Structure 1
């Protein structure tokens, strides 16, 4: 140990030699200061090193946090891009409609045939209602379930079939629906009991009609913008035409050919018409593969809810009146079957012109601005049924009710389209409205019939109920109008 100290001291002398010429005290002082400075530097370095450790840890945590945040943002962006495939924001806007031209008006003509073979056929059930009550051991309320089920299937399937148009599957959808409907009509011709008529005329023809009706009507709407109301209204005149022609065929052929061949003739009429439609009707918009079957965001819009409730309420009263107008003539006023069935023809045919006039006005001032006062007038006419106590009065009421019903029904698809921002969502939203209103069409006639039966076969209470439902529909459209445009009457909506 002593030798190491001596060696250390000897080793330090050459370094101290240059300072020996100076004062020893100064040398010692200088050496002492150098030693103290080195110790201080070492101490400061140690302290700095110790102090730098928390800083380094903080910087490390910051870098890790930034990396984690970048990773989270990247993941979020990827998920957002994936999720956006299920929203309308990423869908390319569809091209603008031609709003005319040979191809567009051809689709209107095909739409006319579609509505002729669906709603014209459905609205003619009043003639079957009057016939079935005479040949089947069933009450009028029970018989009306056949027509109600037919309408219900026609509308409830719309929530799915409307989306198939948007997805670019119109032709296969139309073909399947047309085949089911026509097969149901042919099977109806061999049905002799209530349950078989329910399965064929009620279920099969209803399902078939529902599969291709909504896509076809929505397809017509996609070809027009400024003239959409007129085009759709023109197509819906097929409803009135079918509502006249089918009962006439039934009225003329039933006494001579019998029920079986009468039903077959009707089936051949539909087969011919639907074959023409399949040949010429084509969609315009590119398929929209993404997007929901049901657009639940629509139910956040007060205007959409108001329109939906309005259509629902008026559907309950409308189909009760259509189905029971002939029975009212027979049971209350004593009309024979042949003359009572004329009421079905009148109530469908009276509105054929007025299925064009309101849409022309709607193209100028907006569909909701037209459908709201039309529903009010319809409610007034519905209440007037309570005062009908003679055959001439029944004819007058039937004509006016047919006018108001036709004026309303032709505005339904245009109104829904007007509150839908994207044309490639019309099929989906229209199908949703029709599906909801299907439950009103299903229950309306039986409820009215049950009210009638509960009051010894008298119609007064059922008539009042139907009129009140129409009035509720008017109030709902007022709510939709105020939600859409406020209280200013000059706003187009």
Structure 2
């Protein structure tokens, strides 16, 4: 199983998440709902992608790996094609939010937990190549929507996306194969893991980091149009830039982590710098500043998302439990992903269409996450600066 094949699978889970900004922009015009309400479609999708990971992760440790992944792929395709027939908020919520989210959740954790079993060295790099799939999807899907939507309309644009997903998912289903022997016994949740204070602090820290992570991805388009005054094409271009700059940033930090620092040591400054960039977003008042924000936040947020699973893997010594322990943390951060963007949308409305409160919420959440992950690292290694973790 190559990282290239894994990239195709991640592209069809996280790709739709990182591309949701372009759907948010279109649905703001298509539906008579508030931005906060519309963001629930994307937030529920992310929530289910993460939360179902506890069950799909345990299944990936057992004998149901291919069955669970295949069911997830089927639901992803069904959700996309049903969305093409949808015209109301609830129809899109059920298809793109629930159906696509459940399918993504069934696929994601088995794919993620499969990678470390193929690599005794350079695991972080392999995970980085795989994570680049979300940036690929974040580039491909918005570009397809921007080009096809005015030409063939929303229904056929979604059907084209469905056919693209099918072409990428089919090779993965044919070629992927679990390496570890099945672990038939054991609980769905490994409660003993939370007795490890470093694991607990890491889990809570990533909750706060993910609470603020997707606010910019969901709202940069509407911020660009409403506050900066750019046109629709420019607002989509900003999302493409944010996702495009993230592609090398999902690979290069993992090379550094493998060779020099370890993933956790690199994750901490990545979270803190991401927080600083979100605070800088508050001062953006013109298009050139917003382009700079999109580039830098795209780089560091992508590095964060790539180093997160690699750091989690480094905290799990027993590879036979890597699926369930990965799934547990993903479930914890799912609640952050579920509520973060709707909270930000409500804060935009509360601020009288100003984005200040939402920007402060995202930046402060990210800063709190960085502090807690730093505490996890200190608890695990002490104050030893050069300890590779």
Question: Which residue number in structure 1 is paired with residue 3 of structure 2?
Answer: 108
1:367 equivalent in alignment to 2:263: yes
- Residues 45 and 100 in structure 2, CA contact (< 8 A), matched pair in contact too: yes
Structure 2: give runs of 5+ residues left out of the alignment. Answer: none
CA displacement at 1:335 relative to structure 2: 1.4
Counterpart among 437, 443, 458 of residue 333 in structure 2: 437
* RMSD over aligned Cα atoms: 0.9
Counterparts of 2:131 and 2:143, CA distance in 1: 19
Aligned match of 2:97 in 202, 218, 239?
A: 202
> Aligned partners of 1:314, 1:327: CA distance in 2, in Å?
22
SS at match of 1:222: helix
Instruction: Quote the residue 1:455 is aligned against.
Output: 351
The aligned residue for residue 128 of structure 2 is 233
> Is the counterpart of residue 313 in structure 1 residue 313 in structure 2?
no
Name the counterpart of 2:69: 174
* Matched residue, 2:320: 424
Equivalent in the alignment of 1:350: 245
Where in structure 2 are the equivalents of 1:328-343 lying within 5 Å?
328-343=223-238
Farther off after superposition, 358-367 or 204-213: 358-367
SS of the residue 1:182 aligns to: helix
- Residue 457 of structure 1 deviates from its aligned partner by 0.5
**Displacement over 3 Å in runs of 4+:** none
Question: 1:377 Cα shift?
Answer: 1.2
Q: What CA deviation, in whole Å up to 9, does each residue of 1:65-113 have, x standing for no partner? A: xxxxxxxxxxxxxxxxxxxxxxxxxxxxxxxxxxxxxxxxx33122111
Corresponding residue for residue 376 of structure 2? 480
Aligned with residue 266 of structure 1, among 135, 140, 161: 161
Map 1:376-391 onto structure 2 (within 5 A): 376-391=272-287
Q: What is the deviation of 1:380? A: 1.2
Matches within 5 A, 1:89-104: none
- C-alpha contact 1:236 1:355 (8 A) present in aligned 2: yes
2:35 touches 2:345 (CA, 8 Å); kept in 1? yes
State the match for 1:134 in structure 2: 29
Structure with bigger gyration radius: 1
Question: Is 1:415 the equivalent of 2:311?
Answer: yes
Q: Secondary structure at the match of 2:333?
A: helix
Q: CA deviation at 1:409?
A: 0.5
Task: Name the SS for the 1:394 alignment partner.
Answer: helix
3-state SS, counterpart of residue 332 of structure 1: helix
Verify the 8 A CA contact 1:251 1:341 in the aligned structure 2.
yes
The within-5 A match list for 1:6-155 is 106-155=1-50
Q: Residue 340 of structure 1: CA displacement? A: 0.7
Matched, 1:249 2:144: yes
Contact 2:13–2:107 (Cα < 8 Å) also in 1: no
Contact 1:247–1:345 (CA under 8 A) maintained in structure 2: yes
State the shift of 1:226 in Å: 1.9
Q: Distance in 2 between matches of 1:217 and 1:330?
A: 36
Find the residue that maps to 2:385 and give its secondary structure. coil
Tell whether 2:104 aligns with 1:222. Answer: no
TM-score (norm 2): 0.98
Note if contact 2:68-2:106 (Cα within 8 Å) is conserved in structure 1.
yes
Query: What's the secondary structure of 2:282's corresponding residue?
Result: helix
TM-score by length of 1: 0.78
**How far 1:168 sits from its partner (Å)?**
2.6
Q: CA deviation at 1:357?
A: 1.3
Q: Deviations over 1:404-446 (max 9, x none)?
A: 0011110111111100011111111111111111110010000
Structure 2 Cα separation of the partners of residues 151 and 123 of structure 1 = 10
Using the TM superposition, give the Cα deviation of residue 225 of structure 1 relative to its aligned residue in structure 2, in angstroms. 2.3
Alpha-carbon shift at residue 266 of structure 1 (Å): 0.4
5+ residue gaps, structure 1, are 1-105
Q: Is the 8 A contact 1:316 1:441 kept in 2?
A: yes
